[in-house]
Amino acid sequence: MSIPRLIDKYGREHHYLRISVTDRCNLRCIYCMPEEGMEFEPSDKILTFEEIVEVVRVVAGMGIRKIRLTGGEPLVRKNLEQLVAMIACTPGIEDISLTTNGMFLAPKAKALKEAGLTRVNISMDSLHPDRFKLITRGGDVRKVLNSIDACVKAGLCPIKLNVVLMRGLNDDEIADFIRLTLDRDIHVRFIEYMPIGHHDAGWKNLYMPLARVKEVCAEQQWDYEPEAAVQGNGPSENYRLDGALGSFGLIHPVSEHFCQTCNRLRLTADGYIKPCLAWTEQFHVRRVVGDDEAMRQLFLDALGTKPENHEMSHFLKNDVTISHAPTARRMSQIGG
């Protein structure tokens, strides 16, 4: 029997699966979760490691090659290195990465690398302790900096720092973040604030297009050149300052969407396939674990609903003529 590939009706071939291992998080970042937190799923509603690996095994046969573990905060899930090792043994999987807030990463970096983790993305929206604590509602930037050092020591490279740019909150730190790339092999990625689960006035007030990053480079009189994609960079538009060891990138899903090259699917912690981050469509995969053919069909059904464009820019224009219903899940409930 010929196993179908994960190709949607627009010809986009999908080889990347983002897996949320938990909806829980130790922080309450303002763009990800409300201050009061969320009503978390009970533990029996969360996919087990064995169920996750079964999903990975099936979709690896359909062309998935890259796995990213997300949350919530994935490192609040106990023994995550065991899941990494299980996935690393799956035929066809070539790359396993982790997106984390870095608070618990330092003591785990070596074990994760030994289990088969390839690299890490660390969310870090400010370099100033007080501001970092404000944005994350309680985080300690020193722990994140320690985690960066631990990852370098463990060989978890390339290290990418994800910076959600927000008007009036951290947009004055653009130059400071780019300076980090001068003498360290660090790859800073500025990300536009996305209206996932909310597109209210608060989001619009904080939203800033990433054209501002290039304006800052001009103000600093920095020369930079386009850079070939760093491993796993996906939709990032990458640049390197003259003589820098690292690079900086722009991910602008709102002002300049990259949907035409989207190659990713998402698996939520409670067992749903989401073909598009922004829209409400989701398919319950947990109920078909153990039935390979039914799971393959469910993934194909999910791809059949994937839109050509997530249309996030419409929210900036107060344009209600969107083709799909936007998701009510917050970013922490999807996995980014």
Candidates 269, 287, 266; CA nearest to 48 is 269
pLDDT tens figures, 130-182: 999 999 999 999 999 999 999 999 999 989 999 999 999 999 999 999 999 99
* One-letter amino acid for residue 200 of the chain: D
Q: For residues 166-201, b (16+ Cβ closer than 10 Å) or e, as one string?
A: beebbeebbeebbbbbeeeebbbbbbbbbbbbebee
Residue 290's pLDDT band (cuts 50, 70, 90): very high
pLDDT tens figures, 80-109: 999 999 999 999 999 999 999 999 999 999
Q: Report yes or no on 7 lying in a domain.
A: no
Residue 316: per-residue pLDDT? 55
Residue 300: CATH number of its domain: 3.20.20.70
Find the range with the poorest average confidence among 22-36, 76-90, 157-171, 312-326: 312-326
Taking all residues of the chain, what is their mean pLDDT, rounded to a whole number? 89
**Which residues, listed in sequence order, are joined to residue 159 by a DSSP beta bridge?**
120, 186
Give how far Cα 137 sits from Cα of 29, 130, 303, Å.
Answer: 6, 10, 36
Structural domains of the chain, count? 1
Candidates 210, 241, 246; CA nearest to 230 is 246
Q: Report yes or no on 5 lying in a domain.
A: no
Q: Report yes or no on 1 lying in a domain.
A: no
Residue 31's pLDDT band (cuts 50, 70, 90): confident
pLDDT tens figures, 291-311: 999 999 999 999 999 888 755
Domain hosting 29: range is 16-334
Q: Which H or E element spans position 69?
A: strand 66-70
Residue 296: per-residue pLDDT? 98
Residue 175: per-residue pLDDT? 98
pLDDT tens figures, 175-220: 999 999 999 999 999 999 877 655 556 777 888 999 999 999 999 9
Q: Report yes or no on 83 lying in a domain.
A: yes
Q: Report yes or no on 54 lying in a domain.
A: yes
Q: Report yes or no on 10 lying in a domain.
A: no
Q: Report yes or no on 11 lying in a domain.
A: no
Give the pTM.
Answer: 0.90
pLDDT tens figures, 3-21: 999 999 999 999 999 999 9
Q: Report yes or no on 282 lying in a domain.
A: yes
Candidates 118, 123, 119; CA nearest to 103 is 123
Cis peptide before 91 (omega within 30 of 0): no
